[in-house]
Amino acid sequence: MKKKYSLNKEDLALFREAVPGTKRLKNDTITHKPVKKPQVISSPKRLLQEQVDATYYFSDEFQPMLDNEGPVRYVRQDVSYFELKKLRRGDYSPELFLDLHGLTQLEAKKELGALVAACRREHVHCACVMHGHGKHILKQQTPLWLAQHPDVEAFHQAPREFGGNAALLVLVELDDKTPQDL
């Protein structure tokens, strides 16, 4: 690094007279190494079993009471309604994204189950599910399925930057344990 201003001997002597008794500071900058999360290695069989287990909660016959007016939204009874407001405002930023375009209803259920399981496993609180417009089949069914899952705290129609009315932001309940505790 180049010095912009160099002092001549007279200026340097004048400076030392102005601030007597001072010492040069020792550079003690410490750089910390980033802490890596421990990798949890899971077998493909375990992941498939999680996916199958998570679809257990989804029924096509049960119809939860969702508000038909306004944007698609849901909040579990034991969760504060303010969480839904924060979702609507975009206070939560999704860390996982699931695209259901082109999937059948059975495949979409499996992927939704896998998303919720992955959110819990990876400690991700907010995820985005993009169901699209299409024939409105997945657009209508996705909120009904999500409202049935016990680990889904709330969901709301996504803000425009995350897909607007063709996507949902989902809040997933997490365990209190962090990966370091395991």
Provide the whole-model pTM.
0.65
Average pLDDT over all residues of the chain: 80
Domain with residue 87: its CATH number is 3.30.1370.110
The verdict on residue 33 lying in a domain is: no
Number of domains within the chain: 1
| Whether the Cβ atoms of residue 95 and residue 179 lie closer than 8 Å to each other | no
pLDDT tens track for 28-83: 777 777 766 555 555 677 666 666 666 667 766 666 767 777 788 888 888 888 88
Whether the CA torsion 153, 155, 159, 160 is positive or negative: it is positive
Round to whole Å and give the CA distance between 163 and 32.
38
The verdict on residue 79 lying in a domain is: yes
The verdict on residue 182 lying in a domain is: no
The verdict on residue 162 lying in a domain is: yes
The verdict on residue 4 lying in a domain is: no
Q: Is the pLDDT of residue 176 over 80?
A: no
Q: Is the pLDDT of residue 128 over 60?
A: yes
Higher pLDDT, 117 or 32: 117
